[in-house]
Amino acid sequence: MTAKSDAAIVTGAGSGLGRAMTLGLLDAGYTLLGVDKEEPFLEELSAAAKGKAGTLFTLHADLADPSAFAKVVGSALARFGRIDVLVNNAGVGQGSVRADQRRNPIRFWEVSADDWARFLAVNATAPLMMARAVVPHMLARKKGRIVTVTTSLGTMLRRGYILYGASKAAAEAATAVMSADLEGSGVTANVLVPGGMADTRIIPDGAVADRSRLLRPEIMVAPLLWLLSEAAATVNGRRFIAAHWDRNLPPAEAAEKSGAPIAWKAIATMPIEPD
């Protein structure tokens, strides 16, 4: 894929990992639609994007609203005429329910139906529905990349993380199925995770003693750019850990070191089925 002519959508673009990836794509020359539910963050993003090689458009949308998917894709198509890249990054963290949730875990029996529905809507349903909305346009051109940000396996299984862990696990499983459905089509679906706690709004102030020890959101940029490059045109159904990406290595070696099968296929036991 040639960055100078490629059109991308990044959800949750206004802050954290999404902001870092958006600015990294703009540095590489992408034309991009940044989507976020927080308009002030989009305004700050637009200011930061000035002078970049690429072009940024922004769109205020809440991906918990089922009408948002057609709105986002319609806006991108109206501006760009095509969609080459979808980065599913928008997410909601448990700090939005309980700021001290790391010290005071949210047990599953304390979870409200409304919170469960909200986490599923943003963290699990939105990536699937966004992919569903863009894929027909990608398939028509036999070209496209879908990258979904999930989380570490440890977070999916951690005590007190039913809301975030389970919803992100659903997103990972969905992306695995997407990659299988898309095999050989020219469109790929992969997962990218930071590999640890990153310095984003998902980690509330006071949740850790020293925020300087958190991963920098910018670590996502190098593996993302490689995933969107021609060198990764056939890479499908993989997960990459940004914290393990060694920028001192050639990109293909860094990818090999930081990558693994999506959804831990290597340890999967497939069911017995009749012919």
Query: Which residues touch 62 (CB under 8 Å, ≥6 apart)?
Result: 37, 68
> What is the structure's pLDDT at 4?
53
Average pLDDT over residues 155-163: 95
182 within a domain of the structure (yes/no): yes
The pLDDT confidence band at residue 2, using thresholds 50, 70 and 90, is very low
| pLDDT for 94 | 92
Q: What is the pLDDT of residue 1?
A: 43
User: Does the pLDDT at position 231 exceed 60?
Assistant: yes
One-letter amino acid for residue 65 of the chain: D
Domain annotation covers residue 275: no
Domain range for 168 is: 3-267
Per-residue pLDDT of 161-185, as tens digits, reads 999 999 999 999 999 999 999 999 9
Q: Does 33 fall in a domain?
A: yes
Q: What mean pLDDT value characterizes the chain? A: 94
Spatial contact of 142 and 191, defined as CB atoms under 8 Å apart: no
**Residue 60 domain-assigned?**
yes
What confidence tier does 29 reach under pLDDT thresholds 50, 70, 90?
Answer: very high
DSSP string, the chain: --GGG-EEEEETTTSHHHHHHHHHHHHTT-EEEEEES-HHHHHHHHHHHTT-SSEEEEEE--TTSTTHHHHHHHHHHHHHSS--EEEE-----GGGT-TTTTTS-B-GGG--HHHHHHHIIIIIIHHHHHHHHHHHHHHHHT-EEEEEE---HHHHHSTTBHHHHHHHHHHHHHHHHHHHHHTTTTEEEEEEE-SS-BSSTTS-TTSSS-GGGSBPGGGGHHHHHHHTSGGGTT--SEEEEGGG--TTS-HHHHHHHHEEEGGGGGG--PPP---
* pLDDT at 214 (0 to 100): 86
pLDDT tier for residue 202 given thresholds of 50, 70 and 90: confident
Average pLDDT over residues 199-204: 76
Q: Taking phi first (over 0 means left), then psi (-120 to 50 degrees means alpha), and beta for anything else, what does residue 29 get?
A: left
The predicted-structure confidence for 30-41, as pLDDT tens digits, reads as follows 999 999 999 999
Q: How far apart are CA 126 and CA 65, in angstroms?
A: 9
With respect to residue 14, please indicate whether it lies within any of the assigned structural domains: yes
Burial 101-118 (b: 16+ CB within 10 A, else e): bbeebbeeeebeeebeeb
Q: Is position 272 within any domain?
A: no
Q: What phi-psi label fits residue 32: left (phi over 0), alpha (psi between -120 and 50 degrees) or beta?
A: beta
Tally the residues of the chain: 275
pLDDT digits (tens, 9 = 90+) for 55-112: 999 999 999 999 999 999 999 999 999 999 999 999 999 989 998 888 899 999 999 9
Average pLDDT over residues 7-28: 97
> How large is the average pLDDT for residues 228-254?
97
What is the number of structural domains in the chain? 1
Q: Which of 137, 40, 45 is nearest to 86 (CA)?
A: 137
Q: Which two tokens stand for residue 178?
A: 């997407």
Residue 206, pLDDT score: 65
Q: Is residue 273 part of a domain?
A: no
The reply to whether 274 falls in a domain is no
pTM of the full predicted structure? 0.94
CATH for 188: 3.40.50.720
Question: What pLDDT does 168 receive?
Answer: 97
- pLDDT tens digits for 127-137? 999 999 999 99
